Amino acid sequence: MPTQERRPSALKNETDIVRLRNVGFGYSGRPSVLRDVNLILPQGSFHFLTGPSGAGKSTLLRLLTLSERPSAGRIDLFGQDVTQIPRAAIPQMRRRIGMVFQDFRLLEHLSAFDNVALPLRLNGEKPRDYAQDVAEMLRWVGLGGRFDALPPSLSGGEKQRLAIARAVITRPRLILADEPTGSVDRAMGDKLMRLFQSLNKLGATVLIATHDEELAHQYGAGLLHLENGQLQSIEPQPRPQAPVVEAV
């Protein structure tokens, strides 16, 4: 994993990366997607979010990336209440979050190198300052020989690894992934999971939404289950940093 100084330093006494208190979300005239969700994700934890299709897993991730605002309750990220965060402050907060989308969301006209470099360019950094870091990141995810490849020429597994590289190049403290193994075979899924484990060992808090509960059992992480708009912890792992669902 390449090293650099971009990773934001931790705030004093900051141990909970995510804290949700009685969070609800719904659209006008429709049943609530989320109801009274209470959750603490401690710094450095690794956990899976499961549930049936339509349970609200993607909605919860959108709330954590500030793409949606809750209808009720409070969300704290990195020790700060973001429930009513001004829109102008959202980009800066998002720089501390890495999001891996199920559909990759790569820019097909940009090379693999330029896709990974894009967040750094948007942060105003110069190519001479980030070129080595991007190259090392691509090698770290196993794409060292594909710098100039366009996304349409990559396999599903390569696209997912490229999406992971782009999501973590800024050294986010919180990494969110939506079904990252859903479009690859088991062998490639195992490789992707080892990447997430490595990022977690480097200090990142990782939350992976998946329909595959066996992943949580296989990799010894905490399991959160979302169904009928409510969240519960299933078979919590005996780890000090395991996710905690607060009592309502």
Are 90 and 121 part of one and the same domain? no
| 243 — pLDDT class (breaks 50, 70, 90) | low
Are 167 and 178 part of one and the same domain? no
Assign 242 to helix, strand or coil: coil
Are 72 and 181 part of one and the same domain? yes
Half-sphere exposure of 247 (CA within 13 A, CB side): 0
Residue 158 has pLDDT above 90, yes or no: yes
User: d(Cα 69, Cα 104) in Å, to the nearest integer?
Assistant: 23
Are 11 and 59 part of one and the same domain? yes
CA neighbor of 133 nearest in space, from 11, 229, 7, 35: 7
**Least confident window among 25-29, 50-54, 163-167:** 25-29
Are 81 and 177 part of one and the same domain? yes
Cα four-point dihedral sign 185, 186, 191, 193 = positive
Are 228 and 114 part of one and the same domain? no
Are 137 and 39 part of one and the same domain? no
* Interval 51-71: pLDDT, tens: 988 889 999 999 999 999 999
Range of the domain at 134: 105-171
End-of-domain residue from the set 116, 139, 171: 171
End-of-domain residue from the set 127, 151, 171: 171
User: d(Cα 141, Cα 186) in Å, to the nearest integer?
Assistant: 17
Cα four-point dihedral sign 53, 54, 56, 61 = positive
Are 91 and 185 part of one and the same domain? yes
Are 92 and 124 part of one and the same domain? no
Are 82 and 178 part of one and the same domain? yes
Residues 45, 140: contact at Cβ < 8 Å? no
- Rounded mean pLDDT of 142-166? 95
Are 128 and 245 part of one and the same domain? no
* Interval 125-135: pLDDT, tens: 999 999 999 99
Output the pLDDT for position 240.
Answer: 43
Assign 1 to helix, strand or coil: coil
Task: Find the farthest-apart pair of alpha carbons in the chain and give their distance in angstroms, rounded.
Answer: 52
Output the pLDDT for position 244.
Answer: 59
Q: What size, in residues, is the chain?
A: 248
Output the pLDDT for position 235.
Answer: 57
Measured from the Cβ of residue 31, the count of other Cβ atoms closer than 10 Å reads 9
Residues 137, 65: contact at Cβ < 8 Å? no
* Interval 182-212: pLDDT, tens: 878 888 888 889 989 999 999 999 999 998 8
Average pLDDT of the chain, as a whole number: 87
CATH number, position 66: 3.40.50.300
Output the pLDDT for position 248.
Answer: 46
Burial class (CB in 10 A: 0-12, 13-18, 19+), 195: buried
Task: Report the number of distinct structural domains present in the chain.
Answer: 2
pTM summary value:
0.86
Residues forming beta bridges with residue 80, ordered by sequence position: 77
Output the pLDDT for position 12.
Answer: 36
Residue 100 has pLDDT above 90, yes or no: yes
Output the pLDDT for position 102.
Answer: 87
End-of-domain residue from the set 143, 171, 199: 171
Are 7 and 46 part of one and the same domain? yes
Residues 60, 226: contact at Cβ < 8 Å? yes
